[in-house]
Amino acid sequence: MSNGAEHLFTRFRQGTGLKFDHTGYWTYPAFVPAKKDEINWLLLILKAVPLHEKKRTALFRPSAMVLTEAGTGLVLSYDNFRHGHDPFPSQTWNKPVAMFPHKSIANMDYTEFHKEECRLMSAYETAGEQFATDGTLPQMFVDLYLRLTHPIVLPYLKHLAPAFFKTLGLEK
């Protein structure tokens, strides 16, 4: 075993060696069914590159997907699309797919945006319980979620969290 590998393994045991590609634009959690009457959170991470002179941040295709217990932060799975299985293999990593901010939040200031994010997050517990119980979501949650969520995220959620996507009411 090389020194580098030994060093790394030692750090695994120390709990400091694992690395997650977790930088970028995090989507708000989507609900995915778990055990009976329970849900997990699914979050996507889109690579994000600030373009300061353009006054925007380029968003690239999702680079990773994280599944956690709802509201606990306990990671159930982590899928690195760049180095592991890629469900969207033909999508290039070099071309942005969208820009931040999107239109519905573009004219919020940062303080207002933060407040709206807090309002959305505070609705997650109730919305999660309702989703787990009857597969629906409170309309307030849906409206706020769709306002704050970048539209480019939705097509990905359509495939990775289809039940949640359906509940957003975007399809008839």
Q: Which is nearer to other proteins, 74 or 162 (CB)?
A: 162
We find the least distance from the C-beta atom of residue 83 to other proteins, in angstroms, to be 10
φ/ψ region of 105 (left if φ > 0, alpha if ψ in -120 to 50, else beta) reads: alpha
Q: Using an 8 Å Cβ cutoff, are 42 and 67 in contact?
A: yes
We find the least distance from the C-beta atom of residue 10 to other proteins, in angstroms, to be 11
Among 15, 18, 19, 139, binds other proteins (CB under 8 A): 19
From 34-42, 106-114, 118-126, 132-140, give the range in contact with other proteins by CB under 8 A.
Answer: 106-114
Give the pairing type, strands 39-51 and 75-80. unpaired
- Report the distance separating Cα 125 and Cα 171, nearest Å: 24
> Cα torsion for 66, 73, 47, 157, to the nearest 10°?
50
Does 35 help bind other proteins (rule: CB under 8 A)? no
Does 3 help bind other proteins (rule: CB under 8 A)? yes
Task: Name which of 47, 146, 52, 148 is nearest 98 in CA terms.
Answer: 47
The footprint of other proteins (CB under 8 A) covers 3-4, 7, 19, 21, 23-25, 47-58, 60, 63, 82, 85-111, 113-114, 117, 146, 151-152, 154-156, 158-159, 162, 170-172
